[in-house]
A and B are shown apart, each in its own frame.
Chain A
Amino acid sequence: MNRTEQRQAVEELVYRSCLTLDNKDWKGFLALCDDDFRYHITAYSPEIRRDMTWLEQDKKGMDTLLTNLPRHNSDHSPITRHATVYTVELDEAKGEAAVVSALQVFRTQLDGGGSELFAVGRFYDTVKLNGSGPRLAKRIVKLETRQLGYGYHVPF
C-alpha cells in the first residue's frame, strides 16, 4: 500500500467507525478496534481550569458498556456523527498513524424528527497500520461542548 492508499484506508476507518456507531452496530465498531483499544472522552473545563476525563474504557469495557445499554433507561433519540478527517500523520517505523478529525454530533428527536446540534469536538485517533488493515488503537474524543442536557449513554 502506498502512502495515498494508506491515507485513504485510514480515512475510511474513521468514517466506518462513525457509521457503525450511528447504526448501533456495536460488534461492527469493535471489529474496527485493535485488541489493545482504549477509548476516552475528555474535555477542558474553563470553569475549573482543568482537563477532565468523562469516559475511559478498554475494548472489553466498551463491549460491556454497549452490551448493557438495553438494560438501562436511556434517551432513544438517535445521534449522527459527522467526522471530517483533517490530518493523517503516518509513522511507518511504528506502523501507526496519528489522525485528527473534526466531529459534530447531531441528535434527532423521535417525536417529530427535529434535529439539533448535540456536541462538537475532535477525534484524536491512533491507528495501527500493520496486519490485515488499519485498526483503531486509541480514540480520544475531545469535546468542546460540555453542556449535554440530560446526557447520553452511548459513546460518541
Chain B
Amino acid sequence: MAKSAEQWSARPNFPQTHYVDSRIYTDREIFGEEKEKLFKPSWIIACHESELPNPCDYRLFTHPAGVPLIIVRGDDAKVRAFYNICPHRGNTILYDPSGNAKRMTCIFHQWSFDTRGNCLDISRAEQGYQNRFSKEDAGMREVKCEVAYGGFVWVNLLDECMPLREFIGGAMDILEPFMQEPMEIFHFHKAHLRTNYKLWHDTNSEFYHDFLHYFNRITGMMQPGYFDRKYTAYPNGHATVGSMQIQYDKYEGSKERAVGWPGLARGGWYMVDLFPGMTYNLRTSVMRIDTAIPLGPNEVVIEFRGLGLKRDTPEERAQRIFDHNMIWGPFGRNLHEDLLGVTGQGRAMREGTDSRWVIQGREENNTIHDEIGMRHFYAEWSRRMERPAYDPYREGKPEPVRAVA
C-alpha cells in the first residue's frame, strides 16, 4: 500500500540499529564534522609503493579531510608524506600529480625543499629576513606515513594518532596470506560523482545489490557457496567478506580465468571494507583498491586502482588487465552499474527531496545478503560522530538499544 506523508516520515519499524536517517548523506554540518572526527584520525591509503619506484619519485594525494599531500620516496628510499603547501605564502609546491623531484621548489618565490622536508633554500633570505628567519625555520609539514598491507602507502594527519596496526586490528588477516609477494599498479582512474561517499562504501559493504548486476545474477548468485559467504565485523568499523568460487565461464564472452593469484583458490574472491571509505577487493586474478575522497555531502571522487604481481610476465599482466577491465574498468560491466546505482541514490537523497530513511534491516546469519556490513559501519560512525545515525539530530523517542547483529 502506498504511503501518506505521515507514514513516509515515520521511523521504519525496525530496531534503530537497522536504519539510518538519510539526512546524514546531505547535511553540510555533518559533513564538516565527518572530516574532523572520521577522516582526520583515520589511516588512509594515499597510493601504492609501485607508484614511487625510484628515489625522489613523488605522488600527490588529496586527503579526504581536505589536505593536499605530497607522498615522496626520499633519497634514502623511505616514503614520507608532507603538506603540499609552501610554508611561505601558502602556495601549492608541486603541481603535477606525479614525478621525480630531488628538490621540491615552489614556483612562486623559489623556496626549495628536499625529500625529507627540509628547506634547502630561501631566495634572498639574508636581505629580507636578516637574522629573524632562516631556512631552518621553514621546513615542510610532515604527516605520519607507513607502507603496509600489500605495499600501500598509508597516511594519518594527526601527530598523536592510533598506530596503523591498532587501527586495522585483525581486519586484514583474511588477506595477509595473499599479499606476500610485491604487487604493481597497472590501473588508475578517478570517478567524480554527485553522491555521498558513505553510499559508495555501503555498496562495497553489501552484496544484496548483486541483483543490480546481470553478470552476478547469472554467475555468482547461481553457484553453490554463494549464500555461504560471510561477513565478519572488526573493531573500528572494518568488515570482511569471505570467499567463494566464481565460475566466469557462465557469462557469455567471459571464460575461466587462466591467471590466478598466489595462494588463492581458483575463482576465489575476498573483500575487506575499511572505515571510513576504503576497500580491498581481491578477485581471482586482480587486486582492486577503492579510496573515497569526499568533496562535499553530495560529491565524491573515488580513486580506483588495479594491481597485479610485480613478477608478472607480459602475458600474465595482459590477462590480469583483461580480467580487470571486463568487470571493473570504466567500460566494464559491473563498475558502471555500481556507479550508476550510487549516483541514483545521490539524486534521490539530495537536499530537499524528502528522502527520509535508509533501511539496513536484512538479517541472514551474517551471510552474503545480510546487511551487517552497513550496520557495523554505522555503529562506528555513530560512536565517533557522537550522533546516532538513526537519529542524528536527536529528534526521536529513545528506543531500547539492540546490539548490532
Alpha-carbon distance between A66 and B113 when the two chains are bound, in angstroms: 52
Determine, out of A8-16, A94-102, A131-139, A147-155, the stretch whose residues face the partner at the interface. Answer: A147-155
Task: Check A153/B336 contact, CB under 8 A, given A48-B185, A52-B187, A52-B188.
Answer: yes
A57 to chain B, nearest CB (A): 9
Alpha-carbon distance between A82 and B333 when the two chains are bound, in angstroms: 25
Interface size, chain A (Cβ < 8 Å) = 31
Alpha-carbon distance between A93 and B288 when the two chains are bound, in angstroms: 45
Contact residues, B87-102 vs A (CB, 8 A): 96-98
Interface size, chain B (Cβ < 8 Å) = 35
Contact residues, B194-252 vs A (CB, 8 A): 212-215, 252
What residues on B are CB-neighbors of A65 within 8 Å? 253
Q: Does A109 contact B (CB under 8 A)?
A: no
Task: Check A148/B191 contact, CB under 8 A, given A46-B96, A56-B325.
Answer: yes
B192 touches A152 (CB 8 A): no
What residues on A are CB-neighbors of B213 within 8 Å? 72-73
Q: Does B329 contact A (CB under 8 A)?
A: yes
One digit per residue, 1 when the CB lies within 8 angstroms of any chain A CB and 0 when it does not, for chain B 86-123 equals 00000000001110000000000000000000000000
A54 touches B330 (CB 8 A): yes
A49 touches B98 (CB 8 A): yes
Alpha-carbon distance between A49 and B252 when the two chains are bound, in angstroms: 34
Q: Does A45 contact B (CB under 8 A)?
A: yes
User: Chain B contact residues: over half helix, strand or loop, or mixed?
Assistant: mixed
By beta carbon, the residue of chain A nearest B212 is A73
Determine, out of B23-31, B75-83, B337-345, B369-377, the stretch whose residues face the partner at the interface. Answer: B337-345
By beta carbon, the residue of chain B nearest A52 is B187
User: Chain A contact residues: over half helix, strand or loop, or mixed?
Assistant: loop
A54 touches B325 (CB 8 A): yes
Contact residues, A94-151 vs B (CB, 8 A): 146-151
Task: Check A73/B337 contact, CB under 8 A, given A45-B188, A147-B191.
Answer: yes
By beta carbon, the residue of chain A nearest B341 is A73
- Selected contact of B330 from candidates A48, A75, A148, CB within 8 Å: A148
A-B contact pairs, 22 of them (CB 8 A): A47-B188, A48-B51, A48-B188, A49-B51, A50-B186, A52-B187, A54-B330, A68-B214, A68-B252, A71-B214, A74-B336, A148-B330, A149-B193, A149-B339, A150-B191, A150-B339, A151-B191, A151-B330, A151-B332, A151-B339, A152-B330, A155-B331
